[in-house]
Structure formats: C-alpha cells, structure tokens
Amino acid sequence: MALFSRRPKSSSEQDAGTPDAASTAESEETQETQESASASAEETPQVGISVSSFGGLGAAPTPASASAAAAPQAEADGIPGLTDNILLRDAIAALPEEANGTQVVGVARQLLQGQLFLRVRGDARSLAAEGKELPLAVASIEDTPFVLVFSGGSALQAAVRADGQLDSSAMSQDAGIVLRSVLAGPYGGIILDHASRQSPIVIPRQLIERALEESDDEFTVKTLLAGERTSETPALVAAALPHVPLWLAANRAREEDEWGLAESRNASGERFLEVFSHPLEVLAMGRGDQPMPIRIDQLASGFEGDDGLTGIVVDPAGPWIQLSRADLASAFAAAEE
C-alpha cells in the first residue's frame, strides 16, 4: 500500500497560476496589513546612488565586486554596480495594484534568495568605517516604522526621483541578513519598491518571523534554484534535501475525506510528487493547500511504496526543478544512515 495518498484529479490539475484569495491565515494577515498601509506613507531618510556591499549591518564594508560592477544593467535607469534581484523584481512587477493576500505571499517567497537593497542616509561606507549606526530609510504606518527595501536599481532610482534628495547611498546585502536585521530592530516589517507602485507592498513582521523560522539559515534550495543552472544543479539540490526543511502540499475536498498530496504530470504522463522548500511556496500556488512537513526518510519510504512515482518537482511555482529517482538515490541513501 502506498504511503502517499494521491489527490483527486480535479484538484491536482488546477491551474497553479490562478490565485485563491482565501488561502490561509498568513495570507489573510498579509492582506489586512497591506490594506491598512497608506499609499502616502511618509518617508523619513533621504536618498542617494552610491553603492556599497556589506557582510552585515554594522560590519566593515567592502567595495562592490568587479563582476557586479561590470554586469550589464537590465534597466536604463539602474545603478552601476548594483544587479537587480530579478525574481523579486519580476514578482513585484507582476502584481496588480490591488493585490490579494495570496499574491503578496507569492512576492514574499522571493525574498528568500539573493540580495536585497536598502537606502542609507549619508555615506554608508564612511558611517560603517566609523562604527556608527546606519540610518535606514523607513516609512511610518500608524506610527510604526517599516524599512524600505528595494529589488534593484530601477526601484531605487524611482525613489530618488520621487523625493529628489541625494544625500544617501544604496546598500546591498544578502536577503537573510536584511530580514534578520529588520527583526532585530523596532520595525513593523518592510515595504517593497514603494515608489514604483501606487499601492505599497507591505510584508509584516509576523510573516517575516514565520518565514525565517520555517527556513534553513542559508535558504539553500531556494538559492540553488534561483542560481545559474548547470549539469551539477540536480545533484546539488538532491544533496541538500536531507539537511533542509521540506514540505508537501496537502488538501481534501471535504472534512470526511482523506488528505491527498499534490502531484504534477509531464506530457508523457509521468508522475512527480510536488515538494516545497518552504511553506510560502505552497501558499503561493493559490490552491488552498496546507503545507505538510516531511522528512527525507518519509519521502524515501513513500517512493518505496509507490512504484508509479517518477520523481519529484521542487518548488513548482518556480523557479523549479524535476529530480528523477536516480537523482534522488543519494538523498534517499543518506536517509538510511
């Protein structure tokens, strides 16, 4: 008997691109916080366009890398030396002005990889060298400060044009560093690319806390999937699976029904179990699924009991990757040790 219970066909073959506004408590909380934000939130610090790259807030700064400085700019009004977080930038650009909670969760999941960008009043490099606190650009929502975070150069330049104040600098940091720094301060959360939209995208503190609690510190799988694909990528993703949290997408049509798990099929009819690197990845599918944690040994047992499974598809909302049984062999062997 198979360990995994398959979802009814009508549910598993839903269009993943159609969001469901009534998803989960996290989605509703995000939507409520977003709706409470005023589009005219007052920005306190000023803006500039010099670029610094830091290992962490309060750490000694280093010049932007030569490769970053030489990277071609995707936008004509970008900032030299700053490479956009393309996944986050594109997710924000795809949002309608009146985004629902599930759509905002789809943006929030793209915070878990790559670099995020901040504005600092004054020269960030000089301030850090002097050991001074870096005054981040913030906006106030109901007297609570929210950190202004940017997906890249175009969004930063939009903020510069919006206020015309240049006495500040742009700072790039790993996403994990930025999010943990926000939680370490008196902030209610973050606002993304605020000058690029009429309606602000607000990611509340509670959602950031949950996102970090349910992820590994390095965002390992998300980072691998967001990076350049090579012939080694499937092996690297498979090797990471025993060491990171994993989830499946569970659902049922009625309370009396058994829970079924989401699968995908390719054009040849091969079955792939959907596996997720984070609960936000499940919620972003917009199908009303519940994230169900699973260990690698449980995943291995499920495959032993279901010969019809060809493999898994990791983070099917994208960027995604398919791993065959052969790809998973080393991960399943590690589960037995």
pTM of the model: 0.77
Average pLDDT over every residue of 137-154: 92
| Structural domain ending residue among the three candidates 163, 187, 213 | 213
Is 3 part of any domain? no
Question: Is 176 within the bounds of a domain?
Answer: yes
Q: 3-state DSSP call for residue 91?
A: helix
User: At 65, is the pLDDT very low, low, confident or very high (cuts 50, 70, 90)?
Assistant: very low
Higher-confidence residue of 71 and 154: namely: 154
- At 133, is the pLDDT very low, low, confident or very high (cuts 50, 70, 90)? confident
Picking from 213, 237, 264, the residue at the C-terminal end of a domain is: 213
Q: Single out the residue of 108, 119, 105, 97 nearest to residue 37, CA to CA.
A: 97
In a domain, 97, yes or no: yes
Domain boundary among 213, 230, 248: 213
Do 163 and 49 share a structural domain?
A: yes
Number of independent structural domains in the chain: 2
- E strands of the chain, at which residues? 50-53, 115-121, 138-141, 144-150, 168-174, 189-192, 201-204, 246-251, 260-261, 263-265, 271-276, 290-294, 309-314, 321-324
As a whole number of Å, the end-to-end CA separation of the chain is 24
Tell me: do 198 and 63 sit in the same domain: yes
Same domain as 240, residue 194: no
Q: Which residue has tokens 């198979």?
A: 2
The residue with tokens 């939507």 is 31
Shared-domain flag, residues 45 and 84: yes
Q: Which domain holds residue 148?
A: 37-213
- 173 shares its domain with 77: yes
